[in-house]
Structure 1
Amino acid sequence: MTQTLHACDHPTPEALYPFDARGVAKRFRHAAIFGALESLMPGETMRFCNDHDPLPLLAQMQQRYGEQVAIAYVQREPGAIVIDFKVLGS
């Protein structure tokens, strides 16, 4: 069995706020993610890490924030999903 390397397991020199959803209970994840995202100032980025592609979450974010949050995949492999959410402002 090979282990997939996960970009969140390695520190980066960039000034990003990591959010590792792998350690958050499923029933609390979306609320925790929205709370963390809403605490960011315009121009700040949250690096979201998960073990699966959170397509329903991304749809909710699009509805909730529209173009106020930029979404960019950093890593998109089975078992290793990393997405940067950058707050653009209102």
Structure 2
Amino acid sequence: MADTSLPILTHNVHPFDARGVAKRFRHAAIFGALSALQPGETMRFCNDHDPLPLLQQLQGHFGDQIEFEYLSRQPGEIVIDFHIVS
């Protein structure tokens, strides 16, 4: 099994480890980071829990401009790629 604590990075994939951001700042930081991405770029998001309410908020805000894909759903190690598509 791959070590999800050290994600493999490729071109246009930018890491964002929410585990190091104070909880009260997390959503604002995530929205800001995603807003800074260009089409074709990806943010690799790591977190300690599955952020289901956040995913709904992001879908409502970004609509069809964002897609997400789980790379890991292990307890304590959630890894999601957020792709900016247009």
Using the size of structure 2 for normalisation, the TM-score is: 0.91
Specify which of 20, 24, 29 is matched with residue 23 of structure 1: 20
Letter in 2 for 1:14: T
CA distance in 2, matches of 1:56, 1:67: 18
Letter in 2 for 1:63: G
5 Å-filtered alignment, 1:1-90, equals 7=4, 9-15=5-11, 16-89=13-86
User: What SS does the aligned partner of 1:66 have?
Assistant: helix
Does the CA contact (< 8 Å) of 1:6 and 1:80 recur in 2? no
Shift of the 68–23 alpha-carbon distance from structure 1 to 2, 3 Å rule, reads same
Shift of 1:10: 2.0
CA distance in 2, matches of 1:35, 1:13: 20
Q: Where do 5+ consecutive residues of structure 2 fail to align?
A: none
Q: Where do 5+ consecutive residues of structure 1 fail to align?
A: none
Using the size of structure 1 for normalisation, the TM-score is: 0.87
Shift of 1:13: 4.5
Identity score, percent:
62
- Runs of 4 or more above 6 Å deviation: none
**How many equivalent pairs are there?**
84
